[in-house]
């Protein structure tokens, strides 16, 4: 339907309780009836399932997917037969979620969930809904306190290594754009279940309708708090500022318990547990090292490194929406870009945040990491996105010096030796923790390039492409707090990544006019794009060599984003419940 400005009364004329639409439902009913060839009396209900906009034509159009209920069920069958082969007229799938089990009354030990990011939250919620009364252990602080700690780095250059953008209630995506879509295969519609729960816990209802929903950071904070309260009301327990330091295994490699550090007192305690979900996120480097020490199978996996790029949002809006730029129904434009560089590397945009800001996202002292976030309104001046280059385990440094730099002398020597043994058996073998070497090296280097005070090193796009150090900003004011230090970014990443990015930027300028504008700003480094390792698991979702450990979410290599991590959390809870109930 063409989008025309509506009076408020018309826009509100939706008879369901979801988003106000840019069209009255009556107009959609007419279109639906025409498409199906039915009379008005046959159509008893119409609900909008999805809505997107098509800005490619001179006229801005809204595109709807609607669910209709018909007066006579046999009419539905007839219509489906008549329209067989038409991909736009299909039966509405059943998306209702059914819990897979009920907890036994005599459960000897409560299941434990480590980490309260999207994966841990949905694992704990699903377990609690099934009556399992899980215990959640989260190393960071409650979301409100965590917000203050996070701002402490952004405003005062003081990092709390246990409470920051990566660690704390809500997990890594709490200070984010809160994009809520994913390209995972989802035949059971678990993503829909996640979205519905988000709405139950206070997210704006339009996330159920929009084709590319996002929730923004402030609204996410409230959702996380409400979700926590629900788990507690169902008998779950959430222990904040409690870091898992060790796992206790039987000789048959069955989990028997955890050693937990209570951050407030500095004391540790043992928690008996035989079913443990590990929803650690990609930044729990100390915990990965501990799991490796305990012999839990971990494998190095590819991830990506790069910079954040910032443009005026108006440049992106104009390039993507032409004459429709600035139309309030469209909001701020988003983009997705890929370039296959001639050196064989793929460069792509990552976690694009329209109308947002670049944030300091380190969890370790003496390191600088960038990422992006926005508010629900997405109305900040700049658009930002990671511009990252895919790297493979063979690229990870494995020499003794880098292991020692990353893990200290004792563990570092041990890992360097292990890497030597591995390579003696297979020349291409990569130590599972070697990706962390590269991340730590790049992040520490960025800290120094930024002036060793948590400012981020930065360079203007044209000067980066031509290898000229930047000395002053142009029209784009970078949003990174606590600030940026202009200079030369060529030493901030491996040469192959710099070469690929220098080639990609002008190529992106051909796809989005102005993308390679001279004074767009690059800030670095973007290293926490996904986990540098994987924790392989079997069909029963347990670690392939350790019974009772259920690794999942982004840290284990099974998700890449809020929605997919939450979906994985549901699957972990189901697998754990089945194991306990069937046992």
Could you tell me the CA-to-CA distances from 201 to 89, 227, 388, 578 in Å, in that order?
32, 6, 34, 27
Q: How far apart are CA 357 and CA 311, in angstroms?
A: 11
Pick 116 or 154: Cβ nearer ligand FAD: 116
Does 120 contact ligand FAD by CB under 6 A?
A: yes
Q: How far apart are CA 137 and CA 582, in angstroms?
A: 26
CB 187 within 8 A of CB 384: no
Whichever of 14 and 531 has its CB closer to ligand FAD, that residue is 531
484 binds ligand FAD (CB under 6 A): no
Stretch 315-374 residues interacting with ligand FAD (CB under 6 A) = 351, 359, 361, 371, 373
Shortest reach from residue 146's CB to ligand FAD, in Å: 9
Out of 280, 438, 449, 504, the residue judged to bind ligand FAD by CB under 6 A? 280
Q: Tell me: does residue 279 bind ligand FAD (CB under 6 A).
A: yes
Check binding of 22 to ligand FAD (CB under 6 A). no
Which of 38, 68, 137, 533: binder of ligand FAD (CB under 6 A)? 137
Judged by CB, which is closer to ligand FAD: 139, or 345? Answer: 139
Touching ligand FAD, residues 150-179 (CB under 6 A): 165, 167-168, 171-173, 175-179
Q: Which secondary-structure segment (H or E) carries 33?
A: helix 25-36
Least Cα distance to 92 among 38, 47, 29 occurs for 47
Decide if residue 449 touches ligand FAD (CB under 6 A).
Answer: no
Q: Is 140 in the site for ligand FAD (CB under 6 A)?
A: yes
Tokens at residue 110, please? 């409560």
Structure tokens at 327: 């139309």
Is the CB of residue 474 less than 8 Å from the CB of residue 280? no
Q: How many CA atoms lie within 13 A of 197 on its CB side?
A: 26
* SS3 (DSSP) at 548: coil
Q: Specify whether the CB–CB gap between 449 and 487 falls below 8 A.
A: yes
Interface characters, 219-258, with ligand FAD (x: CB under 6 A)? ------------------------xx--------------
Cα separation of 320 and 303, whole Å? 29
- Measured from the CB atom, the residue of 463 and 554 that comes closer to ligand FAD is 554
**Residue 562 and residue 548: Cα distance in Å, rounded?**
25
CA distance 583 to 578: 8
CB of 202 within 8 A of CB of 223? yes
Q: Which of 38, 43, 60, 116 binds ligand FAD (CB under 6 A)?
A: 116
Q: In whole angstroms, what is the distance from residue 243 CA to residue 141 CA?
A: 11
Q: Which stretch binds ligand FAD (CB under 6 A): 90-98, 232-240, 385-393, 551-559?
A: 551-559
Assess 287 for contact with ligand FAD (CB under 6 A).
yes
- Number of shown-chain residues binding ligand FAD (CB under 6 A): 43
Q: Counting contacts by CB under 6 A, is residue 396 touching ligand FAD?
A: no
Nearer to ligand FAD, 140 or 393 (CB): 140
Q: Does 561 bind ligand FAD (CB under 6 A)?
A: yes
**Residue 474, H or E segment:** none
The CB-side HSE value for 115 (13 A sphere, CA atoms) comes to 31
What's the closest the beta carbon of residue 39 comes to ligand FAD, in angstroms? 44
**Interacting stretch for ligand FAD, rule CB under 6 A, among 138-146, 227-235, 340-348, 455-463?**
138-146
Nearer to ligand FAD, 138 or 463 (CB): 138
The dihedral formed by the CA atoms of 88, 94, 95 and 100, expressed in degrees to the nearest 10? -150
CB of 336 to ligand FAD, least distance (A): 13
64: left (phi over 0), alpha (psi -120 to 50) or beta: beta
Binding segment for ligand FAD (CB under 6 A), chosen from 56-64, 87-95, 134-142, 247-255, is 134-142
Minimal distance, residue 514 CB to ligand FAD, in Å: 23
Query: From CA 338, how far away is CA 388, in angstroms rounded?
Result: 10
Residue 479 is given by DSSP the state -
The CB-of-115 to ligand FAD minimum distance in angstroms stands at 3
Neighbours of 580 (CB within 10 A): 20
Contacting positions for ligand FAD (CB under 6 A):
114-120, 137-140, 165, 167-168, 171-173, 175-179, 243-244, 279-281, 284, 287, 351, 359, 361, 371, 373, 553-555, 559-563, 565
């Amino acid at each position: 339907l063409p989008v025309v400005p509506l009076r408020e009364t018309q826009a509100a004329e939706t008879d369901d309780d979801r988003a106000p639409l840019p069209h009255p439902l009556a107009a959609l009913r007419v279109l639906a009836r025409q498409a199906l060839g039915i009379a008005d009396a046959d159509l008893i209900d119409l609900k909008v399932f999805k809505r997107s906009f098509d800005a490619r034509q001179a006229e801005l159009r809204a595109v709807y997917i609607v669910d209709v209920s018909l007066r006579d069920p046999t009419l539905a069958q007839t219509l489906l037969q008549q329209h067989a082969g038409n991909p736009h007229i299909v039966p509405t799938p059943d998306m209702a979620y059914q819990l897979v089990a009920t907890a036994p009354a005599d459960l000897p030990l409560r299941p434990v969930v480590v980490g309260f990011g999207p994966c841990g939250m949905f694992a704990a919620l699903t377990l609690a809904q099934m009556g399992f009364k899980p215990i959640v252990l989260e190393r960071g602080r409650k979301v409100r306190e965590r917000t203050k700690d996070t701002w402490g780095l952004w405003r005062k250059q003081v990092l709390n290594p246990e409470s920051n953008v990566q660690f704390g209630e809500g997990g890594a995506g709490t200070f984010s754009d809160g994009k809520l879509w994913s390209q995972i295969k989802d035949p059971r519609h678990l993503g829909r279940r996640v979205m519905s729960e988000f709405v139950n816990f206070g997210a704006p209802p339009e996330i159920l309708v929009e084709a590319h929903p996002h929730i923004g950071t402030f609204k996410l904070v409230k959702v996380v708090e409400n979700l926590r309260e629900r788990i507690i009301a169902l008998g779950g327990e959430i222990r904040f500022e409690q870091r898992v330091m060790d796992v206790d295994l039987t000789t048959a490699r069955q989990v028997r318990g955890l050693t937990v550090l209570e951050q407030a007192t500095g004391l540790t305690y043992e928690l008996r547990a035989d079913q443990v979900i590990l929803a650690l996120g990609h930044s729990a480097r100390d915990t990965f090292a501990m799991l490796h020490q305990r012999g839990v199978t971990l494998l190095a996996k590819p991830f990506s490194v790069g910079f954040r790029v910032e443009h005026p949002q108006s440049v992106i809006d104009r390039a993507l929406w032409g004459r429709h730029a600035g139309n309030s129904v469209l909001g701020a434009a988003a983009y997705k870009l890929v370039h296959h560089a001639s050196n064989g590397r793929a460069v792509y945009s990552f976690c694009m945040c329209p109308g947002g800001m670049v944030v300091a996202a380190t969890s370790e002292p003496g390191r600088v990491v960038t990422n992006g976030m926005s508010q629900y309104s997405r109305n900040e001046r700049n658009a930002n996105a990671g511009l990252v280059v895919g790297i493979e385990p063979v690229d990870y440094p494995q020499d003794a010096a880098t292991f020692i730099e990353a893990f200290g002398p004792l563990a570092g020597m041990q890992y360097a030796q292990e890497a030597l043994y591995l390579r003696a058996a297979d020349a291409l073998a990569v130590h599972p923790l070697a990706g962390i070497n590269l991340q730590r090296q790049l992040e520490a280097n960025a800290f120094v390039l930024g002036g060793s005070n948590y400012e981020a090193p930065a360079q203007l796009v044209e000067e980066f492409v031509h290898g000229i150090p930047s000395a002053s900003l142009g029209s784009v004011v970078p949003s990174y707090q606590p600030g940026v230090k202009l200079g030369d970014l060529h030493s901030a990443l491996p040469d192959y990544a710099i070469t690929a990015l220098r080639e990609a930027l002008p190529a992106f300028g051909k796809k989005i006019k102005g993308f390679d504008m001279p004074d767009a700003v690059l800030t670095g480094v973007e290293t926490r794009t996904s986990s540098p390792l994987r924790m392989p698991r079997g069909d029963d979702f347990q670690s392939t060599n350790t019974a009772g450990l259920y690794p999942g979410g982004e840290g284990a290599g099974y998700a890449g984003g809020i929605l997919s991590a939450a979906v994985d959390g549901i699957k972990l809870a189901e697998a754990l419940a089945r194991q306990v109930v069937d046992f």
